[in-house]
Amino acid sequence: MKITKEEILKFEKLYRATFINSIAGFKSANLIGTISSEGKTNLAIFNSVIHVGANPPALGFLMRPVSVERHTYENIKKTGSFTINHINKEIYKQAHQTSGRYDKDISEFDECGLTAEYSKTISAPYVKQSIVKIGLNYIEEYEIKYNGTIFIIGEIAEIILHGEIIGKDGFINIEDAGTIAISGLDSYHETKRMSRLSYAKPGVEPDEI
């Protein structure tokens, strides 16, 4: 069936949000940890983290203009750092709970049963229960004129993970780390690798590696 933009615009608001949020495909499942200048920690779930570059190493994520995520934004702008922590099978319910509208004085770490952990490199808190944790320094942001969302870019300062999930070629087996995927706003998925494929060359069928 075909659904046009005009039909989408006529959908009931919550139905439309659920529908459009499912359409991009599977999404990364991460917790972004920050701290305010007064030392209050904040933790929020994000499904929009993407790769920006390998050299220098950088990630980005898209943030809604006014939302529960605003504490994350304010903290990043004030302190200049944030952490990205993979959500795994053991903590996805706690991670989901961070999307509740908690007051600024309340730490989602405490309220959702997750533990803050610190490194000397940056001030932002990591999630102890995550197997893959990334510390980043804020680089720049772009406000998307079209709808006011903000694309934020951070440079990787350090990565904390279990060494055994790093393969000989540098591939990190995030499936072995229990990392999950998200679809829509609230659906959590474990994964099963079908295969890795060799570098594509015109006229040559890719091999499983």
Under 8 Å between Cβ of 161 and 135: no
Q: Using CB under 8 A, which residues numbered 20 to 49 contact a second copy?
A: 20-30, 47-49
Kindly state the number of chain residues that form the binding site for a second copy, as judged by CB under 8 A: 114
Is residue 138 a contact residue for a second copy (CB under 8 A)? no
User: Parallel, antiparallel, or unpaired: how do β-strands 181-183 and 30-35 relate?
Assistant: unpaired
Identify which of 55, 52, 114, 67 has the alpha carbon closest to the alpha carbon of residue 86: 114
Is residue 10 a contact residue for a second copy (CB under 8 A)? no
Structure token digits, residue 145: 């004129």
Is residue 144 a contact residue for a second copy (CB under 8 A)? yes
Under 8 Å between Cβ of 52 and 136: no
Q: Which of 90, 100, 104, 110 binds a second copy (CB under 8 A)?
A: 100
Q: How far is the CB of 78 from a second copy (least distance, A)?
A: 21
Q: Using CB under 8 A, which residues numbered 159 to 178 contact a second copy?
A: 159-163, 166, 169-175
What's phi and psi for 143, nearest 5 deg? Answer: -85, 125
Is residue 198 a contact residue for a second copy (CB under 8 A)? yes
Is residue 150 a contact residue for a second copy (CB under 8 A)? no
